[in-house]
Amino acid sequence: MRDFISINFKIWRQFNDESKGIYKEFRLEKVSVEVSLLEALDQLNEQLITKNIRPITFDHDCREGICGSCGFLINGQPHGPNKGTTTCQLYMRNFKDNALIVLEPWRAESFPIIQDLLVNRNTLDKLIIAGGYFPIETGNAPDANLIPISSEKAFSSFETATCIGCGACVAGCKNASSSLFVAAKLAHLGQLPQGINEKKERSIKMRKQMLIEGFGQCSNNLECEAVCPKEISADWISWMNKI
């Protein structure tokens, strides 16, 4: 059984959004197959720092697949080859010894590059802000819990609430559409008593903001569903379009 492997990295390096980017190649020896890809990048950065080379910039936080901070293209696939997996959950045992791993940032006009593999995804926050909030009065927690909600609706709402806003759906779509993200955010509360009355208005506002922020139209290729680390169904886009 393998304990360690060697990896050849080909990584996109770009100082900022206004500079020209280029791929740079690096080799990392004796990488434990039990570490994640992000931990392997940490190991590579330690080597670069000792050589006075600027470390590779990438975004991360929880490293547990729940925050949505991490994410870049791994051999052309958002979050890498494993289904239902975030970048931080991808382990080196998924790669062969001496494999070539190509890393590059999300490619979308709405996600300008900050540096290397890090992009600015604030446009997703702007979509949520455009939708506004629900002013319905539900009282305190005990009162809100008295509102009858079927288990089917509760489960369906929770399914869309699992969206972590990583932006993989945008990066995977040839039109850089945020339709799956918007649909998930609409369906989260739009199926519940608190959000039913205003779901149509929210849908109009958020989809209008999509165009303002430079997101494209849905390509109907279902790439968004295929690369979503939480495996949210593209059927919710159809649900959104029927509102």
Structural domain boundaries, residue 38: 4-114
If you search the block for the tokens 């990048």, which residue do you land on? 41
Closest to 117 in 3D by CA, of 181, 203, 182, 44: 44
What residues are paired with 142 via a beta bridge? none
| Alpha carbons 128 and 234: distance in angstroms, whole number | 19
User: Which residue, 194, 186, 191, 196, is CA-closest to 155?
Assistant: 191
State residue 186's pLDDT score. Answer: 95
Domain boundary among 114, 143, 163: 114
Radius of gyration from C-alpha coordinates of the chain: 20
Residues 30 and 73 in one domain: yes
| Domain boundary pick from 95, 114, 133 | 114
Residues contacting 193, CB < 8 A, separation 6+:
136, 147, 149
Determine the pLDDT at residue 1: 58
Residues 30 and 89 in one domain: yes
Burial environment of residue 72 by CB neighbours within 10 A (0 to 12, 13 to 18, 19 or more) = buried
CB 127, CB 209: distance < 8 Å: yes
Q: Helices 199-212 and 179-190, interaxial angle, to 10°?
A: 160
Distance CA 181, CA 172 (A): 12
- DSSP SS3 for 120: coil
Whichever domain contains 130, its CATH number is 1.10.1060.10
Please tell me the total count of domains within the chain: 2
* 10-residue mean pLDDT series, the chain (243 residues): 90 96 97 97 98 97 94 97 96 96 97 97 96 74 74 93 97 97 95 87 95 95 96 96 91
Residue type, 88: C
Domain boundary among 81, 114, 147: 114
Question: Domain check: are 170 and 229 in the same one?
Answer: yes
pTM: 0.92
